[in-house]
Amino acid sequence: MTRELPHVALSANPHDRHGAHRTDDAWIDACWADPATRVLTVAGTRVRPVDGRLVWTEPGAAPEGLRVLLGEHDGITYFASFVDPSRAPGPREEWLMLRSALGALDAEHAPLVMHAIGLAEWHWATRCCPRCGAPLTARQAGHVLACTSCGREQFPRTDPAVIMLITDGDPGAPEERCLLGRNANWPPGRFSTLAGFVEPGERMEDAVRREVWEETGVRVGEVSYFDSQPWPLPASLMLGFFGRATDAHIDVDGAEIEDARWLTRDQMRDQAEAGTLVLPGGVSISRSLIESWYGGALPGAW
């Protein structure tokens, strides 16, 4: 990469997660008592932007909820407080899913927010022990759920997903093309890179080839790694790849993908400028894959 790409903003300033302190109640209590500590309130899985930004409060100003240690950044300790949506302050309509609140993220706090939302999604979806069905209780500052009956521990899950830009033709040549697809539920003109989850026992490179073949009928040979992006919506890690087509014939599956097309750089630019091609948003790794291949910024976004 020759320039900083948009998706990097979500993980460019990682925090010290202080995993060794998650069982140290005295240390956690001392941090919570420090007025310099900052807390993000999460209602269920939603956050509340105020004047276009997410608000980090002092511990004393945070509503009572599950106290979750996020870690330390620039000498400040950060927590999240998970509250029931029925007890969240302010009008309910002001609380947004993270996808709708991405514009409220700032680069300094984005990794902390991704950490908080990933855990919030997991807590929201994981209520009972999968072994015996008994309730779970939070431990290790919110990073472990333990069964109140059999004692079995549950840990946050992250599902690996591949996202890929497939190309065809001589690299860098005017006639080189990339493959974009669209879902039937998207508004007209929306296209994106292909993506899918890695299946059990599968290499990531093979997942790239399988997903592209299943969705578009295009055969892929060489696969190379690009970058990754945390995407806790609800629990994914997006692993970005480039792939080279060995057979460019398109035969869409008609289920996940309604349409797929090959585009040269000139076609992509002209259609994006005309508004007939609408590309993914700036903070997505999909956008970074496309613009890295294109060689610069493109107009328009979802």
> pLDDT (tens digit, 9 = 90+) per residue, 83-108?
999 989 889 999 999 888 988 988 89
Name 135's Cβ contacts closer than 8 Å, sequence gap at least 6. 127, 128, 129, 147, 148
- What was the pLDDT predicted at 99? 87
Residue among 88, 86, 81, 89 nearest 60 (CA): 81
- Asked if the model's pLDDT at residue 8 lies above 90, the reply is no
Residues 234-253 pLDDT 10s = 899 999 999 999 999 999 98
Categorize the per-residue pLDDT at 282 as very low, low, confident or very high, splitting at 50, 70 and 90: confident
Give the CATH fold of the 159-294 domain. Answer: Nucleoside Triphosphate Pyrophosphohydrolase (3.90.79)
- What was the pLDDT predicted at 204? 98
- What was the pLDDT predicted at 274? 96
Torsions phi, psi of 287, nearest 5? -60, -40
- What was the pLDDT predicted at 290? 97
CB burial of residue 63 (10 Å; 0-12, 13-18, 19+): middle
Helices 265-274, 285-294: axis angle to 10 degrees equals 120
Q: Which residue type does 149 have?
A: S
Residues 149-165 pLDDT 10s = 999 999 999 999 999 99
Phi-psi region of 201 (alpha: psi -120 to 50; beta: other; left: phi over 0): left
State the Cα–Cα distance between residues 216 and 262, nearest whole angstrom. Answer: 11
Q: Indicate the domain borders of the chain.
A: 6-125, 126-156, 159-294
State the Cα–Cα distance between residues 16 and 171, nearest whole angstrom. Answer: 40
CA distance readout (Å), 236 to 141, 158, 196, 197: 22, 5, 11, 9
3-class secondary structure, 212? helix
Residues 31-63 pLDDT 10s = 999 999 999 999 999 999 999 999 999 999 999
- What was the pLDDT predicted at 302? 76
- What was the pLDDT predicted at 2? 44
Strands, sheet with 76-83, edge to edge from the N-terminal-most edge strand:
66-73, 76-83, 38-43, 46-47, 96-97
Decide if 68 contacts 86 (C-beta within 8 A): no
Q: Above pLDDT 70, what percent of the chain?
A: 99
Please, what is the average pLDDT of the chain? Answer: 94
Name 3's Cβ contacts closer than 8 Å, sequence gap at least 6. none
Name 133's Cβ contacts closer than 8 Å, sequence gap at least 6. none
- What was the pLDDT predicted at 3? 54
pTM of the model: 0.89
- What was the pLDDT predicted at 216? 97
When pLDDT is averaged across residues 187-204 and rounded to a whole number, the result is 96
Categorize the per-residue pLDDT at 1 as very low, low, confident or very high, splitting at 50, 70 and 90: very low
State the Cα–Cα distance between residues 19 and 101, nearest whole angstrom. Answer: 28
Residue among 6, 3, 59 nearest 240 (CA): 6
Decide if 84 contacts 130 (C-beta within 8 A): no
